[in-house]
Amino acid sequence: MVTSRGNLFPEKIVNEIISKVTGKSSLVTLSKQIAIPFNGQTEFVFTMDSEIDVVAENGKKTHGGITVEPVKMMPIKVEYGARVSDEFLYATEEEQVPILEAFTDGYSRKLARGIDIMGFHGINPRSGAASAVIGANNFDSKVNQIVEYDAADPDANVEAAVAMVQGAEGMVTGMAMAPAFSSALASYKVNGVKQFPELGWGANPGTINGLQTDVNNTVSAGTDDLVIVGDFADMFKWGYSKEIPFEIIKYGDPDNSGNDLKGYNQVYLRAETYVGWGIMSPEHFAMVKKPATTPEG
């Protein structure tokens, strides 16, 4: 649907736009951003296979061993665009309506949400389907340490997930959880006393029991995932290789709709980004998932 001046604004155009666009990224909150070359880069995960060795005087030294595994981070392109009438654009300039700023801000929120949906689940955010471009570069595909959700004791679910990561000699630096799981923790009581009151009423306190935490509906995003814990600080990396936060396209058919912009007195607003990420060590993460349902037959 094409946005037109006449059906959006009254005679007097206001100088403020209230944006309804929402979105944030747990991955961005819990992990570090790095610079990624446009052609991608390979990170090497280095492991010493043994412990240090005590050597007696004149004693024999033994082989310890190292393992080096490459993890390739290839940026992928994401974009958002919309058609508006060229009259609408002229009115924007004349009345100084900050629609362009609102578009850029809205895109940044959609991008943040999209990074999670892609990185957690390998899903194209717009279509809701698995993306062949992303492939297996996502937590759902790579993380095999799974705890089955038990609504009676959500605290024990997190403890079990943490134990899995620590059992793989990993550190737990952060936790991302779905609102449904946050609500379960907020309601969890021992001897009638709520154990996580800081999560009450939908709060997102940032830390729980000293662990950096983020509550976000991107953790589920239509899947059975409820919690992801692990070493977000060192074993997950992400970054941009190129950003075009905003451009105005005046010619052609940039959205492949079959309608030429000039022929329909329109311009096209577009923002696009090349973003890449990599899970350095999947065994240093664990997930809490809803139990798999068995089809009736």
pLDDT tens by residue, 56-83:
887 887 877 777 777 788 889 999 999 9
Mean predicted confidence (pLDDT) in 192-218: 96
Q: Which residue has the higher pLDDT, 66 or 122?
A: 122
In a domain? residue 36: yes
Q: How far apart are CA 139 and CA 174, in angstroms?
A: 14
What is the predicted pLDDT for the residue at 13?
A: 45
In a domain? residue 268: yes
What is the predicted pLDDT for the residue at 143?
A: 98
In a domain? residue 275: yes
What is the predicted pLDDT for the residue at 254?
A: 93
Domain range for 92 is 26-48+66-289
Mean predicted confidence (pLDDT) in 36-40: 78
Give the chain's domain count. 1
In a domain? residue 253: yes
Which of 17-21, 83-87, 168-172, 240-244 has the highest mean predicted lDDT (pLDDT)? 168-172
Task: Please check whether residue 234 is in contact with residue 29, taking contact to mean a CB–CB distance below 8 angstroms.
Answer: no
In a domain? residue 14: no
CB-based contacts of 118, cutoff 8 Å, min separation 6: 76, 78, 124, 125, 131, 134, 138, 277
Enter the tokens of residue 190. 């021992």
CATH number for the domain harbouring residue 282: 3.90.1690
Mean predicted confidence (pLDDT) in 15-33: 79
Closest CA to 72 of 264, 265, 277, 260: 277
pLDDT at 111 over 50: yes
Q: Which residue has the higher pLDDT, 96 or 4?
A: 4
What is the predicted pLDDT for the residue at 39?
A: 75
pLDDT at 172 over 60: yes
Binned at pLDDT 50, 70 and 90, residue 11 comes out as very low
pLDDT at 176 over 80: yes
Q: How far apart are CA 159 and CA 178, in angstroms?
A: 16
What is the predicted pLDDT for the residue at 276?
A: 92
Task: Please check whether residue 241 is in contact with residue 41, taking contact to mean a CB–CB distance below 8 angstroms.
Answer: no
What Cα–Cα distance (Å) separates residue 121 from each residue in 124, 136, 221, 288? 9, 9, 8, 14
Q: How far apart are CA 161 and CA 148, in angstroms?
A: 10
Q: Which residue has the higher pLDDT, 182 or 36?
A: 182
Mean pLDDT score of the chain, rounded to an integer? 87
In a domain? residue 3: no
Mean predicted confidence (pLDDT) in 18-31: 84
Global pTM reads 0.85
